[in-house]
Amino acid sequence: MHKSFHVGRGYSSPAAERQPVRLRVPVYIDDSGYVQNAGFMFKPIEKLEGGPLRGPIAIVMHRTAGSTVESALAAYRSSGYGTHFTIDKDGAIYQTASLKQFTRHVGTIAPRCIREGTCVGDEERKLNLLSYKGKHDHEIRKTYPARYPINEDSIGIEVVARHIPQEARWDPATGHQQESVSRLIAVLFKEFNITSSDTYEHDKISYKTLGEGAGLYGGIDSLPVTLPEPII
């Protein structure tokens, strides 16, 4: 004889209430200095981290001078030079260092008053007698924003793009990269006391190939009105 068990009547929510739950979760920086809930890919590279990051008080925009994110990350691993974030051609954002640590991405800074025509008295003449290193050492005694940001107090963002020397140009950012730059910068503006005027192009503040940081970040107008939060 077939024996059956009555397992009881199941109750469930109407279909409309049984769709996958979508939760809005806040983006935040965790205790180890990584951005959570923003969909970033974490690829920590210990060699990039140089010591405690002060502030941070600024963001510096770079291009990688390569065609893939893998080649950029490989260079960070071997050289120890690189940024906190790298944005691939498809807009994927890689975080490679803690935001509690500085990375070596700026190098020698140029005198801000010379670049911007604001030197007072004979400072420009004196500065011009110094080597690049001497100018840098002179500048770092100043308090930001009298000088440009340095490794120890700024966040670095690289965008994967080639430099084409024969044509003296860089690959323009893809639409996905521009969107990701805006999204990442919105997160950083919210978390730190940093604004559009603290966001710099590497070649404008150092001695780098012209245009390296151009056209990546369009200023405050390019920011989303509200910080987009991922839906999980």
In 3D space, the residue among 217, 200, 8 whose CA is nearest the CA of residue 109 turns out to be: 200
CB of 212 to Zn ion, least distance (A): 5
CA 151 to chain centre: 13
**Cβ atoms within 10 Å of 226's Cβ, excluding its own:** 7
**CB 70, CB 43: distance < 8 Å:** no
Helix (H) or strand (E) holding 164: strand 163-164
Residue 62 as a binder of Zn ion (CB under 5 A): the answer is yes
Q: What string marks each residue from 161 to 200 as x (binds Zn ion by CB under 5 A) or -?
A: ----------------------------------------
Among residues 202, 204, 216, 217, the one that binds Zn ion under rule CB under 5 A: 202
Residue 104 as a binder of Zn ion (CB under 5 A): the answer is no
User: Considering only 74-82, 125-133, 172-180, 202-210, which stretch makes contact with Zn ion by CB under 5 A?
Assistant: 202-210
Residues with Cβ within 8 Å of 78's Cβ and at least 6 positions away in sequence, in order, are: none
Helix (H) or strand (E) holding 41: strand 41-42
**Cβ atoms within 10 Å of 135's Cβ, excluding its own:** 20
* 214 vs 227, beta carbon nearer Zn ion: 214
CB of 36 to Zn ion, least distance (A): 27
CB of 202 to Zn ion, least distance (A): 4
CB of 65 to Zn ion, least distance (A): 8
* 210 vs 232, beta carbon nearer Zn ion: 210
- Residues lying near Zn ion in the complex (CB under 5 A) are found at 62, 202
